[in-house]
């Protein structure tokens, strides 16, 4: 129906153009153009209508396919965002617990190293003892943070939605 309307509109424009040419040049023989326009309109109108019907019938399955692909993409994006959120939560808990462990161990690490490698009371702590206390703080905080991250990972993976 839209195609027929378009062809009629084009035909009307062509006829108006032919009329203008005829008024400009009265001796011009434009009947063959008018006949050609009528012939091509009749000939190609059916073809255009058939092509439109064929394309319209293929348009709905294509639209369904596009919506299906968009739905799959949205589902995968949601799953990726969920995994990212879980990873950020696990890393955040691990880093937080590790930093808490490091700050709470900083006072006690020197005392623990003092038990391992005693220093006389009138001497300052040796460089090796300072390195040992720093290494102890680092190792214990990494271990505690890793353990907290593992526990968080287990809790998060247990609460997965089906």
Contact 102, 138 (CB under 8 A): yes
Structurally, the chain folds into a number of domains equal to: 1
The whole-angstrom separation of Cα 147 and Cα 101 is: 12
Whether pLDDT at 6 is above 50: no
Statement: the pTM of the whole predicted model exceeds 0.85 = no
More confident residue, 39 or 9: 39
pLDDT digits (tens, 9 = 90+) for 9-30: 555 566 667 677 667 766 666 6
pLDDT digits (tens, 9 = 90+) for 88-127: 999 999 999 999 999 888 888 877 777 777 777 777 777 8
Q: Which domain holds residue 86?
A: 2-158
pLDDT at 28: 67
More confident residue, 2 or 53: 53
pLDDT at 152: 93
The whole-angstrom separation of Cα 152 and Cα 162 is: 19
Whether pLDDT at 142 is above 90: yes
The whole-angstrom separation of Cα 34 and Cα 14 is: 8
**pLDDT band for position 161 (cuts 50, 70, 90):** low
Long-range contacts of 80-88 (CB under 8 A, 24+ apart): 86/153, 86/156, 86/157
């Amino acid at each position: 129906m839209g195609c027929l309307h378009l062809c009629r509109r084009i035909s009307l424009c062509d006829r108006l153009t032919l009329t203008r040419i005829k008024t400009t040049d009265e001796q011009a023989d434009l009947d063959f153009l008018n006949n050609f326009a009528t012939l091509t309109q009749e000939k190609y109108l059916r073809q255009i209508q058939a092509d439109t019907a064929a394309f319209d019938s293929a348009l709905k399955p294509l639209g369904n396919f596009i919506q299906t692909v968009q739905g799959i993409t949205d589902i995968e994006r949601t799953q990726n965002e969920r995994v990212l959120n879980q990873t950020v939560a696990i890393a955040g808990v691990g880093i937080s617990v590790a930093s808490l462990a490091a700050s709470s161990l900083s006072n006690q690490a020197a005392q623990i190293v003092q038990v391992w490698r005693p220093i006389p009371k009138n001497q300052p702590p040796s460089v090796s003892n300072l390195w040992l206390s720093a290494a102890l703080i680092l190792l214990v905080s990494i271990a505690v943070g890793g353990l907290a991250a593992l526990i968080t990972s287990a809790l998060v993976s247990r609460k997965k939605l089906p």
